[in-house]
Amino acid sequence: MRINYDFNDLEAFLAVIETGSFHIAAERLNLSQSAITRRVQKLEGVLGSTLFERTTRAVRPTLAAKRLQARAEVMLESARETTLVMRDESVAYEHQRSALVTIALIPTVVTYLLSPTLRLLQESGMSVRVRLLDHAANEVAGAVSQGEADFGICSIGSLEPNTHFEPLFDDLIVLVLPDGHPLAGQDQLTWSDLKAEPLILPARGTGNRLLIDEAMAKSRLTAQWTYEVGRSTTAMELVNEGIGVALLPRSAMLSAQGRTLVFRQLLEPAVARPVGLLTRTGVADSTVVGAFKDAIRQISGRLGALSL
C-alpha cells in the first residue's frame, strides 16, 4: 500500500484544526494560504473524507477531522522524535556505557545461570552495576546486534548477521500442569495427549512458538490455543490458577519451585532449543564483560544438562 500523503500535509491539517483558519495556519507555518488549502485538499482526496466544512468566513472541523487529529499528532510527533533520535543517539549512548555491564537475556535463565554467576562474581569481589534487559529471545538478539547490550543469553531464535552464538545447554519444551492433573500421572506424554486441553502457548513469532507449531504439525494436531501470552511467567501463573496447561522451556520450571506445578516431557517429537551466549562480532570485550562471560561458561560447565 503506497501512502500518498506526507508529514507536511499532516502538519498543515493540524495547524488549520488548531487555529480554525487557513490563513492563520499559513502564517504559523510561513506558507501562503493557497499552499495550505492545497495540502488539506490533497489529504481530503487521499483519505476520501471531507475534513473541514468551510466558508470564506468560517472553518469547522468535521467528525472525520477530529478522528484524524489524534492520529496525525502521533504520527508527526513520532517523525520528529525519530529525526532527533537518529541525529543525537550515538554520542549520548556511548558516553553512558563506561561503568556498567548490560546483559540481554531470556528470563528463564535467571535462576539457572545468572544468579549463580552474579553470586560467583560477588564472592570474587567484583563491584559493577548490572543492567538486565530481560526480553524474549528475538529482542535479546536485537539488543545485542544493535549494541544496546554487551552480550546476550538466549536461544537461537533469530540470529543477526553481526552476532556469534556459543551454545551452553539444550532447553527442552515441556508440558506444564497443575499438580493433580490427570496427565500428571504419566511420566512422559505425546503431543496427541494435548488434544482436549485448554492450551496456553507462547506468542506468535517467537522461536518457541514456531517449534511448537512444527511439532504439532508433525503430530497432525492443529494448534488450538485458548490463551496466548508473551511471558513464560504469565503462563505459569495461569497454569497455577487452573486456567489451562502450558508449553514452556524446561528452564522456566526452575523458577517454579514451591508451586503446585509439575512438568512432563513430550515425545514424538521431543523438542529442544540450544541456549547460549550471543556476542556481537568485531567488538572487543571490556575486562568486566569478559569476566562475566567466563563466569557464565564456568557455571554452565559445572551445572551440566538440565535434569528431567
Binding site for DNA (CB under 7 A): 6, 8, 21-23, 30-35, 37-42, 54-59
| Binding residue for its own copies, selected from 183, 184, 243, 303, defined by CB under 8 A | 243
Distances (CA, A) of 273 to 27, 145, 154, 213, 219: 61, 20, 10, 14, 19
CB closer to DNA out of 25 and 266: 25
Answer yes or no: are the C-beta atoms of 248 and 171 closer than 8 Å. Answer: no
Q: Which of 154, 141, 258, 239 is nearest to 199 (CA)?
A: 239
Least distance (Å) from its own copies to the CB of residue 144? 11
Answer yes or no: are the C-beta atoms of 152 and 134 closer than 8 Å. Answer: no
Of residues 2-61, those binding its own copies (CB under 8 A): 2-3, 5-8, 11, 46-49, 60
Least distance (Å) from DNA to the CB of residue 139? 28
CB closer to its own copies out of 121 and 189: 121
Mark residues 127-166: x for contact with its own copies by CB under 8 A, - for none: --xxxxxxx------x--xxx------------xxx----
36-39: list long-range contacts, CB under 8 Å, 24+ apart: 36/12, 39/8, 39/9, 39/12, 39/13
Question: Dihedral, CA atoms, 203, 206, 208, 212, nearest 10 degrees?
Answer: 70
| Binding residue for its own copies, selected from 231, 274, 286, 303, defined by CB under 8 A | 231
Strand ranges inside the chain, DSSP E: 52-54, 59-61, 100-105, 129-134, 151-155, 163-178, 188-190, 199-202, 225-229, 245-249, 261-267, 272-280
| Binding residue for its own copies, selected from 41, 83, 190, 298, defined by CB under 8 A | 83
CB closer to its own copies out of 93 and 186: 93
CB closer to DNA out of 5 and 227: 5
Least distance (Å) from its own copies to the CB of residue 178? 12
89 near its own copies, rule: CB under 8 A: yes
Measured CA to CA, the distance from residue 236 to residue 217 in angstroms comes to 24
Check whether the bond before 107 is cis (ω within 30° of 0).
Answer: no
CB closer to its own copies out of 125 and 161: 161
CB closer to its own copies out of 2 and 95: 2
Place of cell 509439575: 262
35 binds, among DNA, its own copies, none (CB under 5 to 8 A by kind): DNA
110 near its own copies, rule: CB under 8 A: yes
Mark residues 191-230: x for contact with its own copies by CB under 8 A, - for none: ------------x---------------------xxxxxx
Q: Which residues contact 118 (CB under 8 A, 6 or more apart)?
A: 130
Measured CA to CA, the distance from residue 91 to residue 88 in angstroms comes to 6
Answer yes or no: are the C-beta atoms of 108 and 173 closer than 8 Å. Answer: no
Least distance (Å) from DNA to the CB of residue 82? 17
Least distance (Å) from DNA to the CB of residue 54? 5
63 near its own copies, rule: CB under 8 A: yes
Least distance (Å) from its own copies to the CB of residue 188? 26
82 near its own copies, rule: CB under 8 A: yes
91 near its own copies, rule: CB under 8 A: no
